[in-house]
Structure 1
């Protein structure tokens, strides 16, 4: 699997995959007009990737400064998919929710997501300056 990167736009975050480290990242703001158009390619890629993951650890770093309600729903769907993979298929997956200490909303959303998850490792990570 090769590394790749999709540049951020005014309405969507940068998305990148580092194949050597098995890290997927979302960084920036997320408020696309059509969340399905934005998220479908990501979910398709992710489902294929997870099939071939084996016992390697897969890390997802999420650093969203702002996101709207449809992006929040997409994140919940993402976490549900990942939690299902951990639970049903014994995948080693870790999510890091990265936030700026001055962004109370981002921290609170991370805490809420963390509370909703039962077995998916979900870390709240304060952004280093």
Structure 2
């Protein structure tokens, strides 16, 4: 399976989905004009990927400085997919990375964490010295 790489734009995050390392990374800002259109090919790749290799752990690193409500819905759709994969036997770890001075990003991560039951959801604060 080929990797999926999408470069960041002013309004959309960078996406790095590596089938070999089993690491999915979403970073930057997410407020595309149509979030469902932006995330549709990403979800298609993830669905195919998760169905091809059950039981091998997957790590998801998310570092979003800002995202709008339609992107939040897309993220919840992602977490629902990850929850299902975990329930089907694929260990999933999400690392929600947020700048320690960005209270909004931290609070959103905590809300997403509360909405998940099965996946391991880590809150990972960082500061400018960690970059």
Give me the TM-score of the superposition, normalised by structure 1.
Answer: 0.93
Structure 1 residue 55 corresponds to structure 2 residue 55 = yes
Aligned residues: 128
Between the aligned partners of 1:84 and 1:48, the Cα distance in structure 2 is: 13
Between the aligned partners of 1:82 and 1:41, the Cα distance in structure 2 is: 16
Between the aligned partners of 1:107 and 1:19, the Cα distance in structure 2 is: 28
Counterpart of 1:15 in structure 2 is 15
Between the aligned partners of 1:86 and 1:56, the Cα distance in structure 2 is: 10
Aligned-partner SS, 1:122: strand
Deviations 1:102-121 (CA, angstroms, capped at 9, x unpaired) = 11110110111111111111
Between the aligned partners of 1:107 and 1:59, the Cα distance in structure 2 is: 19
Counterpart of 2:125 in structure 1 is 126
Structure 2's unaligned 5+ residue stretches are none
Counterpart of 2:45 in structure 1 is 45
Deviation, 1:3, is 3.4
Deviation, 1:19, is 3.4
Structure 1's unaligned 5+ residue stretches are none
Between the aligned partners of 2:61 and 2:116, the Cα distance in structure 1 is: 16
Counterpart of 1:107 in structure 2 is 106
Runs of 4+ in 1 over 3 A off after TM superposition: none
Deviations 1:33-85 (CA, angstroms, capped at 9, x unpaired) = 11121010001000000011222111110000000000000011110111111
